[in-house]
Amino acid sequence: MSFSQACQDVIDRFIEMLWLELGLSENTRMSYRSDLLRLAEWLARSEKTLVDASREDIFSFLAARMKKGAKSASSARMLSTLRKFYRYLLREGVIQEDPTLRIEHPKVGRLLPGAISEAEVDRLLAEPDISLPIEARDKVMLEVLYASGLRVSELVGLQLYQVNLRQGVLRVVGKGDKERLTPLGEQAIEQLEVYIKGVRPQLTGGREDGVLFPSLRGGEMTRQTFWHRIKLYVSRSGIAKNVTPHTLRHAFATHLLNHGADLRVVQLLLGHSDLSTTQIYTHVAKARLQQLHSKHHPRS
């Protein structure tokens, strides 16, 4: 088997995992593939492959990209891709040591405000290492937050009894003690089921009641703690934006509207009592559509 074919095969298996296990979009998978092919081509000059790359190789590759003008955010995103790839190879027994360990993320500078795109959500949700119970918990929290548009206080306060996986809904108590049923998408439902059966018992000592997403001490996580967990994954992913729990609630609403959802439906899902509160998201969605029109329309 030629090097190029062997390289392609290992990348293909990784990309397939991104789809089957993480449900990443085609655009995001293409981005991962492109990053890995760049590294493979660079390694080939020294007659090395992705599988036998060392920490020094990875460091030199990133340094060479920076020297050629790659921005810090781009380099951080590249390192995020490589970390995920080598964690996968380690998990599969293909390698014995992760060459990306102890390589620090480049500083991405001042974070930019603004909405987060669907591709950026994909990258953020793919960042937690699900082989670690704490990060597996965080992964599901991010999935549920983006799938439901919950307020962060509603998310960290969720109790196990509020989850109905059979019907695919959460029973949420929002502002003013108003109760609403919030649907979940297939991915969030599947990941919640795996989490409740396999991960949560590791965090609670097997207790079958209480908070859905416990802290390290087994109690309710604070909003500040979850905010810091998000910051960790944003930093790893190289997303150069100020992402908070509310950013994902904002993205939930904006992305629904971008795909044609009715404003009143979004109002119900967000738990807004006043439609005017929801209308702010239509301005963001319209601005995004205008931006796309200006960029791509031949007469713009």
The CATH number of the domain where 284 resides is what? 1.10.443.10
151 catalytic? Reply is yes
Return the pLDDT at 133. Answer: 95
Q: Please say if the pLDDT value at position 297 is more than 70.
A: no
Residue 112's pLDDT band (boundaries 50, 70, 90)?
A: very low
Q: Please say if the pLDDT value at position 128 is more than 90.
A: yes
Among the listed residues 29, 151, 250, 255, the single catalytic one is: 151
d(CA 201, CA 203): 5
Above pLDDT 90, what percent of the chain? 41
Among the listed residues 32, 88, 195, 281, the single catalytic one is: 281
Continuous H helices in the chain: 3-20, 26-44, 55-67, 72-91, 118-125, 133-148, 152-156, 186-194, 200-204, 223-237, 245-258, 263-270, 275-278, 280-296
Residue 287's pLDDT band (boundaries 50, 70, 90)?
A: low
Among the listed residues 77, 229, 249, 255, the single catalytic one is: 249
Among the listed residues 83, 137, 200, 272, the single catalytic one is: 272
Q: Quick one: 133 and 188 in the same domain?
A: yes
* Residue 251 maps to a domain: yes
175 catalytic? Reply is yes
CA 12 to chain centre: 21
Domain closes at, from 53, 74, 91: 91
Distances (CA, A) of 1 to 5, 7, 18, 261: 6, 10, 25, 50
Q: Please say if the pLDDT value at position 213 is more than 50.
A: yes
Residue 261 CB contacts under 8 Å (≥ 6 apart), including other chains:
none
Burial group, residue 93, by CB count within 10 angstroms (0-12, 13-18, 19+)? exposed
32 catalytic? Reply is no
Return the pLDDT at 272. Answer: 59
Residue 118's pLDDT band (boundaries 50, 70, 90)?
A: confident
195 catalytic? Reply is no
Q: Quick one: 66 and 146 in the same domain?
A: no
* Residue corresponding to tokens 């439906």: 265
d(CA 280, CA 250): 10
249 catalytic? Reply is yes
Q: Quick one: 61 and 143 in the same domain?
A: no
Q: Quick one: 250 and 163 in the same domain?
A: yes
d(CA 190, CA 204): 20
Burial 196-230 (b: 16+ CB within 10 A, else e): beebbeebbeeeeeebbbbbeeeebbebeebeebb
* Residue 167 maps to a domain: yes
Residue 295 CB contacts under 8 Å (≥ 6 apart), including other chains:
none
Return the pLDDT at 232. Answer: 93
pLDDT, mean of residues 102-110: 65
What total of structural domains would you count in the chain? Answer: 2
272 catalytic? Reply is yes
Query: What's the whole-number average pLDDT of the chain?
Result: 83
Among the listed residues 246, 264, 283, 293, the single catalytic one is: 246
Residue 293's pLDDT band (boundaries 50, 70, 90)?
A: very low
| Sequence letter at residue 184 | L
pLDDT, mean of residues 282-295: 53
d(CA 70, CA 84): 20
Q: Quick one: 128 and 261 in the same domain?
A: yes
Return the pLDDT at 106. Answer: 63
d(CA 190, CA 74): 32
* Residue 300 maps to a domain: no
Distances (CA, A) of 239 to 99, 215, 230: 23, 26, 11
Between helix 72-91 and helix 55-67 the angle, nearest 10°, is: 160
pLDDT digits (tens, 9 = 90+) for 5-43: 778 899 999 999 988 888 888 888 999 999 999 999 999
d(CA 274, CA 267): 8
Side-chain half-sphere exposure of 264, counting CA atoms within 13 A: 0
Q: Please say if the pLDDT value at position 273 is more than 60.
A: no
Q: Quick one: 86 and 209 in the same domain?
A: no
Of residues 137 and 295, which shows the higher confidence score? 137
Of 264, 221, 227, the C-alpha closest to 249 is 227
d(CA 213, CA 41): 42
Residue 138's pLDDT band (boundaries 50, 70, 90)?
A: very high
Q: Quick one: 177 and 259 in the same domain?
A: yes
Residue 262's pLDDT band (boundaries 50, 70, 90)?
A: confident
Return the pLDDT at 244. Answer: 85
Between helix 223-237 and helix 133-148 the angle, nearest 10°, is: 100
Of residues 189 and 261, which shows the higher confidence score? 189
| Sequence letter at residue 23 | G
Among the listed residues 13, 107, 175, 286, the single catalytic one is: 175
Residue 163 host element (H or E): strand 163-164
Q: Which range marks the domain in which residue 182 is found?
A: 118-291
Q: Please say if the pLDDT value at position 48 is more than 70.
A: yes
Q: Quick one: 72 and 122 in the same domain?
A: no
Q: Left, alpha or beta for 210 (phi > 0: left; psi -120 to 50: alpha)?
A: left
Return the pLDDT at 2. Answer: 47
Residue 188 CB contacts under 8 Å (≥ 6 apart), including other chains:
140, 143, 144, 147, 148
